[in-house]
A and B are shown apart, each in its own frame.
Chain A
Amino acid sequence: DIQMTQSPSSLSASVGDRVTITCQASQDIRNFLNWYQQRPGKAPNLLIYDASYLETGVPSRFIGRGSGTDFTLTINNLQPEDIATYYCQQYDNLPWTFGQGTRVEIK
C-alpha cells in the first residue's frame, strides 16, 4: 500500500497568516493527489483535486502544488472558517489511502 505522510500533525497560526501543509507519498503517484477539509463534526469536503486544481466554490486562497512524491497545500490569508483538519489522499494505486491529517487551529 502507498503510505501518505502529512506534516505537521497540527499547527496554530494567526488570522491572515500563510500556512503550508506537506504530504509525502511512499512512491511516485504522479499527480493523483487530492486534498480535503474536514471541519469539526462535519463530512469531508474536497478542496483540491489532481494535486493543483481548485474545486468549484473553494476560495482561491487554497493552493495545491506538487507531483511525484511531494505535495503541498498552502492556505493564504488564513481565516477563522479554515479551522479544520486537512487530509491528502492518493488514488494512483489501490487501496486509495489518506494521510493521517493536519489539524489547523487559530491562535
Chain B
Amino acid sequence: QVQVVESGGGVVQPGRSLRLSCAASGFVFSSYGFHWVRQAPGKGLEWVALISHDGSKRYFADSVKGRFTVSRDNSENTVHLQIDTLRPEDTAVYYCAKTRNFGDYGAFDFRGQGTRVTVSS
C-alpha cells in the first residue's frame, strides 16, 4: 500500500530555515520522481519543485529558486525540501507527491496530508 508522510512543518520566523521531509513506502521508491506542491491559506495549488527518480535533476519554480533545495535518499525512501530565508509568502501547506508513472513526468500522485508551514514573527 502506497504511503507518503510529510513532516517538518511549524511556525518559523522570517529569515530562518526549515527542512521538510517526506517518507514513502509501499512502492519502488527509486523509480519515481517526487514533487513538492504548496497551497497558501485560501489559495490554489502551486508547484514548487521536482527531484528526478535518481536525484540527478532538480527543477524549481521561479518564486523559490535560490532559496529552496531538494534532495532524496533512495536508501531511506525519503525526500527533503530545504527552505532557507523564509518569507511570509512561504506560509502554506506543503504536499509531497510522487509521479503517477515510472520516471519523472506525468500526473501528481498525492498520498500524504501535507505539512503546514507558517512564517511569522
Contact = CB atoms under 8 A, between A and B. Distances in A.
A101 B45 CA distance: 8
Interface stretch (A20-28, A72-80, A88-96): A88-96
Contact of B108 (A36, A85, A97, A100): A36
Contacts of B114: 43
Contacts of B44: 85, 87, 98-101
Contacts of B111: 43
A96 B110 contact: no
Contacts of B46: 98
B95 A43 contact: yes
B112 A44 contact: no
Contacts of B50: 96
Contacts of B110: 36, 43-46
A95 B44 CA distance: 15
Contact of B100 (A49, A85, A98): A49
Contacts of B37: 44
B10 interface: no
Contact of A96 (B47, B109, B112): B47
A5 interface: no
Interface of B: 35, 37, 44-47, 50, 59, 61-62, 95, 100, 105-114
11 contacts: A36-B108, A43-B95, A44-B37, A44-B110, A46-B100, A50-B106, A50-B107, A85-B44, A89-B47, A98-B45, A98-B47
